[in-house]
Amino acid sequence: MDSCISKQSRIAITGASGFLGQHLVKALTNAGYTSLLCPTHGDYDLSMPNDVRRFYSEMRPQIVIHLAALVGGIGANQSHPAEFFYSNASMGLHLIEQGRIAGLTKFVCVGTVCAYPKYATIPFTETDLWAGYPEETNAPYGLAKKMALVQLQAYRKQYGFNGIYLLPVNLYGPGDNFDPSSSHVIPALILKCQRAINAGEEFIEVWGTGSASREFLYVEDAAKGLMLALERYNSGEPVNLGSGQEISIRDLAHKIAVLMQFNGKINWDISKPDGQPRRCLNTQMAEREFGFKASTSFDIGLANTIEWFRKNYDPGSGGVK
């Protein structure tokens, strides 16, 4: 384990109540970490510098794991590009600067696969991160998160600040966001199938052509990868976190329909964007640098996600409890 980290280190996790955050807190707790600090948005608005200064003053963390983000699917990114840029850029900017002033021993920043160029070579390798502009529908979000990498590398060079930057691919699993206004593709498809079944509808409608591809990482695997990076990685170079497996949106939709026992048609709304044409990560660096390799098969991960959804689905509201 990194000498600056112990099981008693005061570790603050921004976004601890979110999807990945809840699984990371559980993983760290199970691993014996005893001083986890979990600020909420109600406690501190991390896009505001005064709140960030107060966060460091009151919580006195030694390590920060920055998960908090304003996130959403293609529709949300298209509708709120300015908010996605400002909120995410501000959080990274202030947390890193004030963390440097507070004397943090380590800053773990979780970026996004949306930072990669639209037409990056498949599989995406960390050295290709600056080889082009991100896909337009989520570029403001992707670039805002990418600026944290630039800041961390600059702070490492000038101040010796120990900040690391991880690039997870699309996450999924139990506890995912099933709000149709902001959810990503897997929970959105699960919810569409359930609502169609309940309403006796003969089809569901899905954005795009179905030709785009995505890679998915089970959230418990992502939490394990984060914990390993926290304990073992101290370099300024970004690192991908993924499963290394790619699936088309068309195949994904059919797979979920079968698992949900929805027997209707899938209609493709080609007037809507596909988003980035392909996403698939080269995951060799994470395995080489800190021993992380995803272990949950996609079929098992999907089955677990659907099982959790069914236990928490509320037919009355049409959403999860």
Domain ranges of the chain: 11-172+217-245+280-295
Query: What's the pLDDT score for residue 74?
Result: 74
Closest CA to 114 of 133, 100, 127: 133
Q: What pLDDT score does 183 carry?
A: 86
Tell me the per-residue pLDDT of 140-186, one tens digit each, with 9 for 90 and over.
999 999 999 999 999 999 999 999 999 999 999 999 999 888 888 99
Predicted local distance difference test score (pLDDT) of residue 75: 77
From the candidates 33, 44, 116, 141, which is the catalytic residue?
141
| Residue 105 contacts residue 4 (beta carbons within 8 Å) | yes
pLDDT at 282: 97
Spatial neighbors of 79 by CB under 8 A, at least 6 apart, are: none
Backbone φ and ψ of 316, nearest 5°: -65, -45
pLDDT tops 90 at residue 198: yes
Q: How confident is the model at residue 321 (pLDDT cuts 50, 70, 90)?
A: confident
Q: How confident is the model at residue 225 (pLDDT cuts 50, 70, 90)?
A: very high
Q: Which two tokens stand for residue 319?
A: 């959403």
Q: What's the CA angle centered on 34, arms 31 and 38, to 5 degrees?
A: 100
Is residue 205 within 8 Å of 212, Cβ to Cβ? no
Q: Report residue 289 as tokens.
A: 């640098």
| Residue 85, SS3 per DSSP | helix
Residue 308: pLDDT above 90? yes
CB atoms < 10 A from the CB of 151, how many? 22
CATH 3.40.50.2000 fits 11-172+217-245+280-295, yes or no: no
CB proximity list for 78: less than 8 A, separation 6 or greater: 137, 273
Alpha helices, H only, 103-177: 139-159
- Radius of gyration of the chain measured on its C-alpha atoms: 19
Q: What is the mean pLDDT of the chain?
A: 95
Q: 39 near 95, Cβ under 8 Å?
A: no
pLDDT-wise least confident of 92-101, 174-183, 262-271: 174-183
pLDDT in tens, 64-94: 999 999 877 777 778 889 999 999 999 999 9
Half-sphere CA count of 259, side-chain side, radius 13 A: 24
Pair type for strands 246-248 and 11-14: unpaired
Active-site residue flag, 141: yes
The pTM assigned to this predicted structure is: 0.94
pLDDT on residue 1: 79
The token pair at 102 is 């507070």
pLDDT for res 137: 87
**Alpha-carbon span 298 to 216, nearest angstrom:** 8
